[in-house]
């Protein structure tokens, strides 16, 4: 019985899930050949846009990625581009053989290719299971070097789809990678994603697959209710420690990410405190205040016994809590009181947490983050150039590549502040904690984009407000 379901473009699939999606489409009445035409012509259109009227060389491998290459080549030939195909291997699938039979242009030997405008890599896609043999690696690199623009179809050859690992050294870099049917994990995982150039997706009608990861999306935020007041909008309590500057950065971002009230509990107040930030020396009072809707602990906390005591007290308060920085190193399973937490480790802090929670630390980043989420009951934001979010129950959200200018001191504090502010705004259950983590992460990435090059963490924290504005469409005044 044909099934007809809405295509979903935000999901990120494993190779096994992509095969299941293909089977679903075939069960709904499509064929492998029809899907290859759809994918190849869609990708061909991206190639055509880059090439303009220029010349195009397509390298075709043995599998269905090679089949896409034959479709792309024919599409470009039909549109008047000068096209040549280099066949690295004979097609081994029926669909690839059929696609080749439909191509009416030139097939040339690798040695006869001269410099050209666009090179299209259809050597291997998601079916790659081992490193490229030397002859194919050399062919790929030589052809890539001869062309001004390089476009990888579905995945750059030499990349493992599920992990993003490079199976060979010395692989070329790409100006554009065109994913087919659905995003694959490699499109969001290091090192692969850093070599792909811009990434685009061709829709072939793939519907939602249960358990699929999804791409971090721009949040849709609402203005405060007409009768809102500062407490109802959410009061965030930040527990500062030895270095109040880091907590101040978090507070600066939090003030701009939606919370109605941000309070900083610090033994020693930061040297410069903005007037809108309330600083108290009474951490216990802040933790006991029923109006405190969420907490942030960790930025600048230090790792002393006193810091550990503050962390335990914050977690004991039973409020939804963002646990960041030093607090992640001090965290022990027994400290988690059942309140909803968001943990925001970078790689080093992740290793410390894995030791504390008795996890092996082996495997892919998303599996490690999911394992920590499962054992801790917390939402985990695993930071890095390929940041991802994992929630207990298995939901995974992958962030698109963000500005590499974020690699400066203090940006983690800004992220923690933005997430905590969103958590204070709506924080009652796991689903909302996941939502807060997504919103904060998106605001952080967008703020970085708006800042451009060489920003400071303080400038990033201020730019969170402009990022937030972008999430409100035309209605951010709360009057529409």
In this structure, what token pair is assigned to residue 301?
Answer: 């906390």
* Residue closer to ligand NAX, measured from CB, 36 or 447: 36
- Give the interface size with K ion as a residue count (CB under 5 A): 5
Q: Which stretch binds ligand NAX (CB under 6 A): 104-112, 120-128, 281-289, 382-390?
A: 120-128
Q: Which residue is nearest to K ion (CB)?
A: 121
Task: Choose, by CB under 6 A, the member of 86, 113, 132, 178 that binds ligand NAX.
Answer: 132
Residues 59-98 that bind K ion (CB under 5 A): none
153 binding K ion? (CB under 5 A): yes
Residues linked to residue 423 through DSSP beta bridges, in sequence order: none
Secondary structure (DSSP) of 322-385: EE-THHHHH--GGG--SS-EEE---HHHHHHHHHHTT----S-HHHHHHHHHHHH-SEEEE-ST
* Binding at 93: pick from ligand NAX, K ion, none (beta carbon under 5-8 Å per type): ligand NAX
* Binding at 380: pick from K ion, ligand NAX, none (beta carbon under 5-8 Å per type): none
Helix H or strand E encompassing 235:
strand 235-239
Is 126 annotated as ligand-binding? Answer: yes
* Binding at 326: pick from ligand NAX, K ion, none (beta carbon under 5-8 Å per type): none
**DSSP character for 7?**
B
Question: Please, what is the minimum distance in Å from the beta carbon of residue 180 to ligand NAX?
Answer: 5
What is the distance between the alpha carbons of residues 367 and 390, in angstroms, rounded to a whole number? 9
What is the distance between the alpha carbons of residues 433 and 390, in angstroms, rounded to a whole number? 11
CB atoms within 10 A of CB 169: 8
Task: Choose, by CB under 6 A, the member of 11, 12, 14, 35 that binds ligand NAX.
Answer: 35
Task: Choose, by CB under 6 A, the member of 128, 265, 301, 450 that binds ligand NAX.
Answer: 128
**DSSP character for 28?**
T
Single out the residue of 88, 67, 202 nearest to residue 142, CA to CA.
88
CB atoms within 10 A of CB 53: 10
CB 415 within 8 A of CB 378: no
Task: Choose, by CB under 6 A, the member of 5, 29, 53, 92 that binds ligand NAX.
Answer: 92
Site string for ligand NAX, 191-230 (x = CB under 6 A): -------------x--------------------------
* Residue closer to ligand NAX, measured from CB, 126 or 321: 126
Strands (E), 77-174: 83-87, 106-108, 116-122, 147-153
* Residue closer to ligand NAX, measured from CB, 67 or 300: 67
**DSSP character for 222?**
-
CB 354 within 8 A of CB 380: no
Binding-site residue ranges for AMP: 383-387, 412
Query: Where does this chain bind ligand NAX (CB under 6 A)?
Result: 18, 22, 35-36, 39, 61-68, 92-93, 124-133, 153-154, 180-181, 204
Query: Where does this chain bind K ion (CB under 5 A)?
Result: 121, 125, 152-153, 157
């Amino acid at each position: 019985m044909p099934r007809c379901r809405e295509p979903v473009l935000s999901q990120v699939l494993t190779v096994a899930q992509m095969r299941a999606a293909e089977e679903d489409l075939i069960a709904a009445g499509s064929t492998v050949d029809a899907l290859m035409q759809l994918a190849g012509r869609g990708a061909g259109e991206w190639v055509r846009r880059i090439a303009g009227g220029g010349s195009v060389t397509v390298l075709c491998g043995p599998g269905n990625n090679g089949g896409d290459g034959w479709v792309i080549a024919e599409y470009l030939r039909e549109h008047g581009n000068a096209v040549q195909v280099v066949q690295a291997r004979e097609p081994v699938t029926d669909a690839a053989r059929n696609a080749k039979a439909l191509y009416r242009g030139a097939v040339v030997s690798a040695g006869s290719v001269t410099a050209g405008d666009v090179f299209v890599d259809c050597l291997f896609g998601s079916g790659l299971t081992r490193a490229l043999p030397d002859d194919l690696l050399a062919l790929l690199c030589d052809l890539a070097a001869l062309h001004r623009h390089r476009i990888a179809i579905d995945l750059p050859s030499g990349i493992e789809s599920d992990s993003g690992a490079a199976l060979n050294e010395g692989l070329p870099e790409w100006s554009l990678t065109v994913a087919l049917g659905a995003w694959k994990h490699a499109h969001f995982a290091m090192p692969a994603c850093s070599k792909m150039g811009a990434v685009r997706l061709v829709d072939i009608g793939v519907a939602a697959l249960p358990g699929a990861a999804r791409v971090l999306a721009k949040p849709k935020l609402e203005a405060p209710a007409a009768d809102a007041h500062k407490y109802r909008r959410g009061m965030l309590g930040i527990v500062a420690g030895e270095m109040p500057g880091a907590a101040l950065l978090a507070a600066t971002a939090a003030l701009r990410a939606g919370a109605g009230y941000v309070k900083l509990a610090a033994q020693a107040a930061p040297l410069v405190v903005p007037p809108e930030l309330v600083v108290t020396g009474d951490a216990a009072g802040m933790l006991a205040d029923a109006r405190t809707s969420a907490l942030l602990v960790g930025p600048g906390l230090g790792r002393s016994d006193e810091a550990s005591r503050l962390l335990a007290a914050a977690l004991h308060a039973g409020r939804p809590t963002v646990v960041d920085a030093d607090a992640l190193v001090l965290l022990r399973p027994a400290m988690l009181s059942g309140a909803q937490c968001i943990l925001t480790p970078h790689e080093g802090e992740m290793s410390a947490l894995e030791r504390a929670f008795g996890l092996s630390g082996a495997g892919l980043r998303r599996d490690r983050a999911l394992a920590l989420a499962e054992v801790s009951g917390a939402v985990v934001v695993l930071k890095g150039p390929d940041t991802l979010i994992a929630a207990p129950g298995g939901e995974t959200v992958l962030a698109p590549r963000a500005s590499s200018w974020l690699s400066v001191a203090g940006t983690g504090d800004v992220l923690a502040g933005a997430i905590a502010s969103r958590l204070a705004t709506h924080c009652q259950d796991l689903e909302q904690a996941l939502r807060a983590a997504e919103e904060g992460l998106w605001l952080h990435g967008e703020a970085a984009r708006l800042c451009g090059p060489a920003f400071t963490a303080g400038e990033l924290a201020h730019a969170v407000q402009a990022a937030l504005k972008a999430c409100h469409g035309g209605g951010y005044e709360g009057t529409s």
